[in-house]
Structure 1
Amino acid sequence: MMMNSRRTFIKQTGMAAAAALLLPSFTYAKAPKVVGLQLYSLRAQLPADVRGVIAKVGAAGYKEVETFGYSAKNKYWGLDPMAFKNLLIENGLKAPSGHYSVDELMTSGKTDELKGFIEAASAIGSEYLTVPYLAEPWRQSADDYKKIAAKLNQAAELCKASGLKLAYHNHDFEFKPWGDTTGYEILLKETDPKMVAFELDLYWAVRSGNDPAKLFAAHPGRFPMWHVKDMDKANNKINTEVGTGTIDFKTIFKSAKVAGLKYAIMEQENFSLDPYVSIKQSADYIKAQLL
């Protein structure tokens, strides 16, 4: 009886292990415990005082940032990647993601610029190189989105070679219908799920009439990053402090595990309060109510 029980246990354990291998990796994704800030929120302040701004971001309760605007000429607001990484470390910050242009790849097929961005993102310790925007001329048809998806797969291969992952950040135009589909659905279906992740901007998704939870359920595990950006109650075209607008974040965050959420990144594109007061208020709400 004892031997049979042991055999049964071993058999069941083996079956469970085999099942675990078949389950998508998002099942084991750890929900974020800290909040990040997309530095685009402070685009007006950064160029004049990058060190002071980063210090204030850390003081506001953030532990992560997402970069934007890196260029071969100006680097990270005048700091080379190592100097910028050291500045982040000094303020208790990491940069798991950054927004980098893919204009050269999309227009000419050349990869020199992208390789430079990959090198910079790797140097500051990022996990994701995120595509922030698609210029309007590139996205005039469903076929255009298929071509974009192919380019994203190509970029993802280059990222993988350097230990990075590629992600795509949306606005609202991706949800425009093309026949019985949308640009966003095409990107999700035509990109390699093992190589290309998605950073869902919750504000733009909701503003375009979509339910984030339905997107997560339809494409589980593909949304490791979210932009947590609230919608003003009086004017849906502007942002407000997280928790004071119209977006039901508490319901959306119930789908965090299905989405595969790893990084919750606050972004606010306009302010009615002092920006540093505003970003702290949003950070406090996200940490207390959502994470």
Structure 2
Amino acid sequence: MKKLPLLFGMLCALLISHGSASAQKGSPLFPQAPGMAAYTYRYSFPKGVEATLDTIQALGITELEVGGNAFGLAPDSLRKLLDMRGMTAPSVGAGYEQVVENPQEVARVAKILGANYVQVAWIPHEKDNFTFEDAQKAVADFNRAGKVLRENGLTLNYHTHGYEMKPYQSGTLFDYMVRNTDPKYVSFTMDMLWAYHGGQDPAKLLLKYPNRWTTMHLKDMKKGVKGDFTGLMPVENDVALGQGQLDVPAILKAAKKVGIKHYFIEDESPRVITQVPITLAYLKSLKE
């Protein structure tokens, strides 16, 4: 990690925070500290897990959504590093195949890390062509694996990724998935960028299924970029919150209303050193 870009980003964040806060009055719209999706620092963790954790901790973040591989460490080793920094991992990512083929092992790792949620972010399908059959199979797989995870005290979350927003009957394939997954075993992560990229209004989608969402990825999409049903987009199009197309205040109000339990910043851009502090300052600046 280079210190100069980090200090520059933090300085920008402080300036933005001061200016925005002085311009607005009222109670904070987002009073809590957000968590961080470890994927945001996917290029940094391989260079040094402890140094990257220290960088995240220095931003005032105590919740981390980690990948199922635990950065190549034994799960108990990663748990010790988190404990040493007063950090927790309420959500753990896992691949679709991992969850379907060996949910018991996924549960074992998640429990060592102290997680409550196991998140699947991608359903395998033919490129650019997520079909009803793909959704139907995912529903059956998620119900089955979710039952095993629930028996281990965990909740299976499927993370919206845009391609499941394709039209189906009077709604979308995502509507089909929500209606046909068992609420006892399957919940959802609202990735606000990918829901928007797939043509949905994230705030309205949250309110449409108020009892099915547990976690959220905080992210924004560059102005002028058009979405589609691929679930794919150049990472350069990820921008700091408040600088893109999404109506962040409206989404956060809806998330608060439906009781989202954990919020994680996920910035897929190559500019996280400067963008993450700006996102944090923007969140602090928002008022009811």
**Deviation (angstroms), 1:270:** 0.8
Residue 279 (1) aligns with residue 276 (2)? yes
**Deviation (angstroms), 1:218:** 1.8
C-alpha separation in 2, matches of 1:63 and 1:188: 31
**Deviation (angstroms), 1:290:** 7.0
C-alpha separation in 2, matches of 1:208 and 1:42: 25
Change (3 A) 1:104 1:228: closer
Partner of 2:87: 93
Normalised by the length of structure 2, the TM-score is 0.80
**Deviation (angstroms), 1:141:** 3.0
**How many residues were matched structurally?**
249
C-alpha separation in 2, matches of 1:89 and 1:104: 26
Alignment of 1:207-222 (within 5 A): 207-222=197-212
Change (3 A) 1:136 1:32: farther
Letter in 2 for 1:161: E
C-alpha separation in 1, matches of 2:93 and 2:114: 14
C-alpha separation in 2, matches of 1:102 and 1:136: 11
C-alpha separation in 2, matches of 1:94 and 1:146: 34
Letter in 1 for 2:119: T
Normalised by the length of structure 1, the TM-score is 0.79
**Deviation (angstroms), 1:140:** 4.6
Residue 125 (1) aligns with residue 122 (2)? no
Alignment of 1:237-252 (within 5 A): 237=233, 238-252=237-251
C-alpha separation in 2, matches of 1:64 and 1:149: 29
* Structure 2: gaps (5+ residues): 1-29, 227-232
Alignment of 1:99-248 (within 5 A): 99-103=93-97, 111-112=101-102, 114-137=103-126, 140-235=130-225, 237=233, 238-248=237-247
C-alpha separation in 2, matches of 1:225 and 1:185: 18
C-alpha separation in 2, matches of 1:142 and 1:83: 41
**Deviation (angstroms), 1:220:** 1.0
* Structure 1: gaps (5+ residues): 1-30
Moved more, 51-60 or 241-250: 241-250
| RMSD of Structure 2 on Structure 1 (CA) | 2.2
Change (3 A) 1:290 1:89: farther
Residue 59 (1) aligns with residue 58 (2)? yes
C-alpha separation in 1, matches of 2:31 and 2:81: 23
> What SS class does the counterpart of residue 254 from structure 1 fall into?
helix
Residue 34 (1) aligns with residue 12 (2)? no
Partner of 1:25: none
**Deviation (angstroms), 1:154:** 0.8
Change (3 A) 1:144 1:64: same
Greater radius of gyration (CA): 1
> What SS class does the counterpart of residue 244 from structure 1 fall into?
coil
Q: Is the 8 A contact 2:99 2:106 kept in 1?
A: no
C-alpha separation in 1, matches of 2:74 and 2:247: 39
Change (3 A) 1:96 1:288: farther
**Deviation (angstroms), 1:241:** 1.1
Letter in 2 for 1:88: L
**Deviation (angstroms), 1:235:** 4.1
C-alpha separation in 2, matches of 1:178 and 1:116: 34
**Deviation (angstroms), 1:126:** 0.4
